[in-house]
Amino acid sequence: MIKMILVYVTCPDVEKAKSIGRQLLEKRLCTCINVIPGMQSLYFWPPKTGEFEEANEAILIIKSLESKYQEIEDEVGKIHPSDTPCIFSWKIDHVAPKYYEWLKGEIE
């Protein structure tokens, strides 16, 4: 059974996304990160006000194992500049076997 996940995190900029990603890699919580610059976000902020906030952000995608999710969430929560960072994961149903074996071998 495949236990791979992708973890999605929004970051204020590319440098912060890379910094968070490097720390996760150094702690062997993931095997690879992708940073996507130039995302435009629009969301309710402050909470319960009905007002919109607009931001330029970067997306950090973290490739890991399901068993590492809580550690990733905890670590991102410690180092992310937002007090309410967007962090969630997707379970992966299919992955190339050689890639999956590499991923597991790097962090298990």
Residue pLDDT, tens place only, 73-89: 999 999 999 999 999 99
CATH code of the domain occupying 4-107: 3.30.70.120
* CA–CA dist 108, 87 (Å, integer): 22
Residue pLDDT, tens place only, 32-86: 999 999 999 999 989 899 999 999 999 999 999 999 999 999 999 999 999 999 9
Residue 1 clears pLDDT 90, i.e. is over it: no
* CA–CA dist 100, 16 (Å, integer): 27
Question: For position 47, what pLDDT does the model report?
Answer: 87
Residue 108 clears pLDDT 90, i.e. is over it: no
